[in-house]
Structures are given as C-alpha cells and as structure tokens.
Amino acid sequence: MDVFDELLRGVRGKGAVFGRSVLWPPWSLRFTDGAHLTLCVPLRGAGWIVPETGEARHVALGDTAIVRGPAPFCFTDEPPNGTGTERTTGVREVSWGEHAPDHAARDVELDCSTVLLAAAYDVREQVPQRILRALPPVLVVSDEQDCSPMWDYLEAQIGVGRPGHQTVLDRLLDWLLVCTLRDWFDRPEAEPPGWYGALGDDVAGPALRAIHEDPAHPWTTAELASRAGVSRTTLAKRFTELVGNGPVAYLTEWRMTLAADLLTRPELTVAAVARRVGYADAFGFSAAFKRLRGESPSTYRQEAATTDVPDHAVPAG
C-alpha cells in the first residue's frame, strides 16, 4: 500500500468551491472560517497570501498555494507594508457558507484583473493530520508545465449547470491538492516527516509498508526485519534513525491514529475498534490508547461527538 495515498484518502472535497472571485485593485480577501487546508489557485493575475504567522508569499499565475489553518489569512494585491500588516483598503471577509461576488459583468476589464479560485478542506480525521502537521503555514508550488488549459477548464466549470459539474470540480481540486502536496515534499526546502523519507529506504521502507498494509497483524521486529531481508538490529537502528522511533512503537502509534478515527463512528463499539486495530480485548486497547492519547477511548469518543462540525459545504474526510 502507498502510505501517502492512505494518509490522503480521507481528504476529499465536497462542494469545495468557494467561487470565482474577479478582483480589481485595491482588494484584499480575508479568509476567516478556520478551514484546516485552503487551496488557492490564481486563474488570472496574481496576489499575495499573508498568514497570521510566517512570511507573506507571492502567488503568480501557474502557482498553486496551500494555506494551513485554522488561523485566518488574507489574499491581497499588495505585499505587507514595512510594519508587517496587510493593507486594510478593500478588505472583504470571506465566509465559506457563501460565494464571493463574481463581477463578471465587467468582462471588459478582465485583462487587468485577478481571478482567484479557492477551495477549503475541513480535515478533522487524525490520519491526514499526520501530513498537515508537516506543512508550513503557507506553501507555494510552481508547475513547470503550462497548465493554462487546466486553469481555463477549472474556471469554465464554475457556475455551469451540467449534471455532475460539482463532483467533477471537486475531484479536479482533489487531484490538484494531492499533486501539490507531493511536489512540495519533493522540494529541498520542505521538511517532510520521517516516514516520508523512509518509504524509499531499502531497509525501513518494506517494514513501513507492511505495517500500513495490515496494521492489525501482530507484527514483531523480527518479522518486519524478515520483510526487509535484514537482521532485527539493522532494522531497528535504521527505522529509528529515519522515522524517529522503533518499528513496534510506530505500529502502536499508527494503530491509535486509526482507532481515533474509528471511534468517531457510533456504530462501532470500543471492542470492535480494538479488534480492527489488532487488539484481542478492549482492556489492552484502552490502556494503550490512554497511554498514547492521554484519555480513554470512551472519553475521546464523547468529546468527538460533541465537537461542532461546521456545515460550510466543504467537509473533507
């Protein structure tokens, strides 16, 4: 199993389009709804993303930007001034429950405007959070290929009345999000998590993939070492160097991550969740969960059930 695929499988857009915002200077859009990930794609023109923390980043035509939330951020036509604050002229608060006004009536001025496409992902599951924690506040990836046909197609899909157009648009944005994340982690300035680099390692890679293929299996270091064709000592040393902890400790941590998401499903009992992640009884599972997560499975489930999940048309996962 591709670990990267597994971690991103739950990150899916659903009605994720904020809309096509046609903007003329001076302008500034302030995103305030606290999405975990926001995808920003200039279809025409350019702008600056100004996060609450971190440096402002320029986003040009052909770039794709991802902003890690939930803190607010601005997309504006000018960089911050010398005081580090964005200009307030023309600021518009963005709510994901509504579409930005499309001033398409001013088509005669489109050549000097910026057209922004944005989509939000409310990533609440624990599995994809492992990727989110490795991201900077803002990342920008430039596609070396000419993506103008794709941008034209994306813009054309907004507001069309053809059956299934929203699903088509959601999946296109999902594809763009995954490609952007993958390209980012391959860049020298990125700081990918240890497991990402370990996937391509001849020693740690086979063991890591085996764990993700069957996390409920009672893996031992010796059995995982046999998958890699090395000794237990060699595997333990190399795995710890790359991932940050040993293979059995990583297995337990991954099981608890999976369990946290399973516990949000009310149809599954704690015992059923325990069995799905490789524990024969709920007692051993509960002890391991509390040791790693700091609370019992029942408490975690109760807290997750009371968490308000916003319905702003962009739930993912």
Q: What is the dihedral of CA 126, 120, 49, 155, to 10 degrees?
A: 140
Residue % of the chain over a pLDDT of 90 = 38
In 3-state terms, what secondary structure has residue 151? helix
CATH assignment, 7-185: 2.60.120.280
The model's pTM = 0.75
How many other C-beta atoms lie within 10 A of the C-beta of residue 136?
18
Kind of pairing, strands 91-94 and 73-76?
Answer: unpaired
- CA 11/CA 135 separation, integer angstroms: 15
Q: How many alpha carbons fall within 13 Å on the CB side of residue 1?
A: 16
Tens of pLDDT, residue by residue over 216-273, are 999 999 999 999 999 999 999 999 999 999 999 999 999 999 999 999 999 999 999 9
- CA 155/CA 175 separation, integer angstroms: 16
Q: What is the dihedral of CA 79, 148, 44, 131, to 10 degrees?
A: -50
- CA 112/CA 105 separation, integer angstroms: 14
pLDDT value of position 215: 94
pLDDT value of position 99: 41
Among 54-63, 114-123, 165-174, 279-288, name the one with the lowest average pLDDT.
165-174
Name the CA radius of gyration of the chain, rounded.
22
Residue 94 has phi, psi (to 5 degrees) of -100, 125
CATH assignment, 195-306: 1.10.10.60
Residues of the chain with CATH 1.10.10.60: 195-306
Q: How many alpha carbons fall within 13 Å on the CB side of residue 123?
A: 27
pLDDT value of position 100: 41
Residue % of the chain over a pLDDT of 70 = 72
Residues of the chain with CATH 2.60.120.280: 7-185
Tens of pLDDT, residue by residue over 45-93, are 889 999 988 789 999 988 999 998 888 998 988 876 643 344 444 445 5
Quick check: 33 pLDDT over 50? yes
pLDDT value of position 232: 96
Q: Which of 31, 29, 37 is nearest to 173 (CA)?
A: 37
Residue 307 identity: T
How many other C-beta atoms lie within 10 A of the C-beta of residue 269?
12
Tell me the range of 4-13, 131-140, 150-159, 172-181 where mean pLDDT is highest. Answer: 131-140
